[in-house]
Structures are given as C-alpha cells and as structure tokens.
Structure 1
C-alpha cells in the first residue's frame, strides 16, 4: 500500500525496550492495527503520527519522513548517523580528510581506504560539486565588501 521505513520504527521500539503492543496501548488502538500500520498495510493518521513522535521522543518531521519511507538527508543504512558530540572530541587528533586523490576505482565503484585498511564505498554525492565554482587567485574572501551587497547584487 504505502512505503514505510518499517525497520526504523522497530529499531525505535527496541531502543526503548517497547513492543508493538506497548505502542498500541499508548495510541489507544488495537495491536493488529499498529502492526498493519508498521507494515504499510494501513495508513498512519496525522493524530497517530503526532502520538508516535511523542512516544518515541522524536520530532514529528522525523516520523512523517519515516512513515513515507524517506530517510532525511544523505543518510544511508550502511552509514552511521552523524553525531555532533563525536565531532567535538578534544582528546583525539584531527582526522585526515579524504580528497579526490584518495579515491580507489574497483569493480565499477568508488572506494576509499580507512586508516585500518578497510575499503569504504563512497556516497554518490562525493565530489559532485567539484569544478562548479572558480575563485580567482586575487580574491580575498575575508575582506569586507566596499559597497552595500544588495546594491551590487541588484544594480550590476
């Protein structure tokens, strides 16, 4: 019937040590209705969406995207989600960032080698913007602009 990210909903239940029956009690509906809803055999109402978000402690937008089977942003099931707390670690040295020179072409796919030697498949968006912008060598991006930006934008 409708695409739904069933795995995500069941992961949320597992994280909270809850069951479909527990969610059904919270929503005040029959457990079979929740089961059919999580399989995509029954549509989730707007009120149910709001209550599911409250039950999981996530945003309504997250539940809305997942009920349509959409993962927000560039996230993939093979990729760990970005956590800001991980990026702010002060005790670890800065990571070496991948560049185009590090790309390994193998079996028709693009890969990069992790520090431990594992090959990581690149996301299709990696490098997609390369060459789309040229900044002249004499342009100082940190220098203040001498005219009002709107005048320059609209009058030139």
Structure 2
C-alpha cells in the first residue's frame, strides 16, 4: 500500500512539474491594427509581435509625425495566449473589404506569420465584424494602460 502511495505521489509531482515548465514557443507573427478617427484627425496603430505591443500615434495636423506612445515587452505566456487566440479567430476567412453605412471611421488589420495565412490586409470602413471585435478584446487584454484601450470600458 505504501509503495502504491509513493508511486501516486511521484506521478502527481511529475505532472505538476511538467505543467509548470510549459513550452510557450510559437512561430513568429506580426499584427497591426490601425484605427483611424477621421473626424478627429488622428490614428492609433496597435502593433503586436512575438516580443512586444506598441501603439503608434499619427495625425493630420501640421508638424505631426508618427510617435510611439505606448510600448511594453510581452512575456512568453502572454504572447503564446494571444497567438493561440489569433489562430482560433480564423482571420484567413475574412474578406479584404467591408464597407458599412458610417464612413467617418476606418480600421485596417494587417496580419502575417509563419503558421498563419500569408500576409493579409483587411480594410473595414464603418463596419462591425464579430471577428474584429474579438480581436480588439484580445489586444485590450495586452494593454496595461486603460487610456489606450480600443474598447473603452
């Protein structure tokens, strides 16, 4: 009986150690989600890759230039979780253009990666798409500054 309990404890211990040392390696990928606020004259571009998340700001005003306003290094676990969600969303099934009734705003999604569909660019103008909504929620989870969330709470 003691021998059986010992084997059981060794089995449980090895399972715990294996789960703690999970391999979070992924293929390389790049994602850029640009949100134009046309009526306000500026845009925010959310750029996510294997290492970090960045937000670029640019505008239509004089002396305005592309500026990084947010930059954060991602942990391997954060990147892995985001990449897995990105693969689940099946962005390769999206069309290239979506035009809605409100043309004042525009979003562009650019995705490329080793195990994702080859470089894909999707333009949405005044259009709600559930896949894009899920993607913006996942991007928001990576941001630690509420000021820059895409879906303001």
Q: Normalising by the residue count of structure 1, what TM-score does the alignment of the two structures yield?
A: 0.24
Larger relative CO (CA 8 A, sep 6+): 1 or 2?
A: 2
Q: Normalising by the residue count of structure 2, what TM-score does the alignment of the two structures yield?
A: 0.25
The structure with the largest alpha-carbon Rg is 1
